[in-house]
Amino acid sequence: MIRSILICLLLLGAITNVSAQKFISDKSNIGFFSEAPIENIKAENDLATSIFDVGTGEIVFGVPIKGFTFRKSLMQKHFNENYLESDKHPKATFSGKMTKFDLSGTKQVATAIGALTIHGKTRDVTITGNLQKKGDKVIIEAVFPVKLKDHNIKIPKLLFSNIAEIVEVTVRFEYKPYDSTSTSN
């Protein structure tokens, strides 16, 4: 828990405009799905942290790689040890800016443009998703493809038919207002 708070504070430090309202993730879910002829692979992670500055549109998030859980423990072991090398590359991050959004409360399409780092390799990406304000919360959801080769994730030839070259990533963040004067946030 303390580690998550420290990560959030570091992410908050990456957003420099102090006069705009910031939101910090209250709940998160990151998942990925790989469809393959032999067996589909799916994993979920509820340990991601994020900060969203609605004044500037800046958004950052961090995902601990070891936080992904799989249906089969052997898949999780191979994922961490062989493919994502989570001891060497312990987190994935996104840092960018949301464009064309407002907080009118209606669900709307929004785009984030920025840098996605997975497995130590950073790529510029454009991610389109949905943004909605409900009460004092902001919800952001997106589904986007990630090419494994773009992040130097190598699949052994023996297992090439088991794992898709492109995985579908799903993100969902629920944000609450960040109050720097309160110690409970």
* Euclidean distance between CA atoms 28 and 45, whole angstroms: 8
Average pLDDT of the residues of the chain: 86
* pLDDT (tens digit per residue) in 38-87: 788 899 999 999 999 999 999 999 999 999 999 999 889 989 998 899 99
* Euclidean distance between CA atoms 41 and 33, whole angstroms: 6
**In this predicted structure, what is the pLDDT of residue 155?**
77
Q: Mean pLDDT throughout 107-136?
A: 96
* Euclidean distance between CA atoms 15 and 24, whole angstroms: 12
- Give the start-to-end residue ranges of the domains of the chain: 2-12+25-177
Is the predicted pLDDT of residue 163 greater than 90, yes or no?
A: no
* Euclidean distance between CA atoms 94 and 51, whole angstroms: 11
Tell me yes or no: is domain 2-12+25-177 CATH 3.40.50.1100: no
* Euclidean distance between CA atoms 115 and 135, whole angstroms: 30
Is the predicted pLDDT of residue 183 greater than 70, yes or no?
A: no
* Euclidean distance between CA atoms 151 and 68, whole angstroms: 18
Is the predicted pLDDT of residue 120 greater than 70, yes or no?
A: yes
Strand partners, 93: 62, 117
Name 136's Cβ contacts closer than 8 Å, sequence gap at least 6.
Answer: 176, 177
**In this predicted structure, what is the pLDDT of residue 165?**
87
**Phi and psi dihedrals of 152, rounded to 5?**
55, 35
Instruction: Tell me the percentage of the chain whose pLDDT exceeds 90.
Output: 67
Confidence bin at 103 (pLDDT 50/70/90): confident
Is the predicted pLDDT of residue 6 greater than 50, yes or no?
A: no
Is the predicted pLDDT of residue 15 greater than 70, yes or no?
A: no
Is the predicted pLDDT of residue 94 greater than 60, yes or no?
A: yes
Is the predicted pLDDT of residue 175 greater than 70, yes or no?
A: yes
pTM for this predicted structure: 0.83
Buried/exposed code over 130-167 (b: 16+ C-beta within 10 A; e: otherwise): ebbbeeeebbbbbebebebebbebebeeeeeebbbeeb
